Amino acid sequence: MYESANVADDADRTAFRRAEKKYKLYYEQDSKFTRKKKLPKPIDLSELLDFNLISQDYNKNGVLPDGIRVSKVDSSPVFCIENRPGFYFIPGALSLEEQCKWIKESLTNFPQPPNRTNHNAIYGPIADLFDSAKDNKVLVQEDLVNNKWKFYEEVDTVKAKQSNCKSVSASVLLRKLRWSTLGLQFDWSKRNYDVSLPHNNIPDALCQLAKTHAAIAMPDGEEFRPEGAIVNYFGIGDTLGGHLDDMEVDWSKPIVSMSLGCKAIFLLGGKSKDDPPHAMYLRSGDVVLMAGEARECFHGVPRIFTDEENAEIGALESELSHESGHFFAEYIKTSRININIRQVL
């Protein structure tokens, strides 16, 4: 998705691509350590919007930076960017308890069949991936002709290897989980929703949460209908290139985007990639809405911060460890999860 740093001059890139390159994670070339120990190249983060700090300043002094306004104040302010109508940022919208709940759901229930994930194309439906990773199981191809796979205890895979069966550990598959779909299923190969595919409904609690946050961006007199959701999973070095979410019928309805886990950089561009994007931090618990004109704006995630100093998830790790043992906390300390809820029809 990204060109190497020496392929093209900045002059050959759009403003959006230059921003992606600027904020993407690169490592020092002369590092003598392994990839896990390489030092990230320093970058200038001074131009990023930090709505957490903006919120603190606004609550204390009633002051806003140029170009930022408050759309509505309830229990906490909701911020807008004047030249990006339809974009709403709600810092710290999810409580620590809610964050823990939806992290656990995203790892255990959301990838469950019949919901589809990026693994379906190779392995078919995979049930109980998180629990299998927790138990150190291995996925083994039992039937080559019909592409049937099954989880086995690690000690049982010796026979499979002797039979030359393909296998992959559940922990590797969990780390390679990139997306899952809830409600109406999105067909990534055709870039549209396939209403004929079997699916689990979006949980009622998540629907209600989405409706509550979407209300400020809805046309007067209308209520948001959560019909489909895409859950994105990010690991170390992962990015999401500039794109549009343009497959839903009515763009006046918002996409409700919930951030969980490690802090990230979010780019909000314009209707062309030549428009300079706004760069901002996204922290665990933040909610972003994109409706109306904002649905036509390119956006992406060029970086997540997984180092202890910048990830800003100490309290979240502690709460997850206390609630559910170390496995959820170990996963999220180097990961980000993003739940995007949409009204499809």
Q: What is the pLDDT of residues 249-262, one digit of tens each?
A: 899 999 999 999 99
pLDDT at position 2: 33
Q: Does 326 belong to an annotated binding site?
A: no
Q: Identify the H or E element spanning 310.
A: helix 308-311
What is the band of 73 on the pLDDT scale with cuts at 50, 70, 90? low
Location of structure tokens 């940022």: 89
Q: Does the pLDDT of residue 162 top 70, yes or no?
A: no
Query: What is the reported pTM?
Result: 0.91
Q: What is the mean pLDDT of residues 184-198?
A: 85
Q: Does the pLDDT of residue 189 top 60, yes or no?
A: yes
Q: Does the pLDDT of residue 38 top 80, yes or no?
A: no
What is the band of 6 on the pLDDT scale with cuts at 50, 70, 90? very low
Q: Does 286 belong to an annotated binding site?
A: no
Q: Does 322 belong to an annotated binding site?
A: no
What is the band of 101 on the pLDDT scale with cuts at 50, 70, 90? very high
- Residue 117 is classified by DSSP as B
Q: Does the pLDDT of residue 27 top 70, yes or no?
A: yes
Which residue in 118, 12, 180 sits closest to 3, CA to CA? Answer: 12
Spatial contact of 337 and 300, defined as CB atoms under 8 Å apart: no
Percent of the chain with pLDDT over 70: 91
Q: Does the pLDDT of residue 4 top 70, yes or no?
A: no
Could you tell me the CA-to-CA distances from 172 to 167, 256, 263, 303 in Å, in that order?
11, 30, 23, 22
Name the maximum alpha-carbon separation found in the chain: 70
pLDDT at position 92: 96
| More confident position, 220 or 35 | 220
How is residue 159 written in tokens? 């026979």
- Residue 344 is classified by DSSP as -
Q: What is the mean pLDDT of residues 312-340?
A: 93
What is the band of 72 on the pLDDT scale with cuts at 50, 70, 90? confident
Phi, psi of 282, deg, nearest 5: -120, 125
What is the band of 8 on the pLDDT scale with cuts at 50, 70, 90? very low
pLDDT at position 341: 98
What is the band of 309 on the pLDDT scale with cuts at 50, 70, 90? confident
Q: What is the mean pLDDT of residues 278-299?
A: 97
Query: Which DSSP string corresponds to 24-90?
Result: S--B-TT--S-GGGPPBPP---TT-B-HHHHHHHHHHH----TTEEEEEESSSEEEEETTSTTEEEE
What is the band of 270 on the pLDDT scale with cuts at 50, 70, 90? very high
Spatial contact of 153 and 160, defined as CB atoms under 8 Å apart: no
What is the band of 186 on the pLDDT scale with cuts at 50, 70, 90? confident
Identify residue 189 by its one-letter amino acid code: S
| More confident position, 7 or 258 | 258
What is the band of 157 on the pLDDT scale with cuts at 50, 70, 90? low
| More confident position, 97 or 31 | 97
pLDDT at position 143: 84
Q: Identify the H or E element spanning 106.
A: helix 96-108
**Averaged pLDDT score across all residues of the chain:** 90
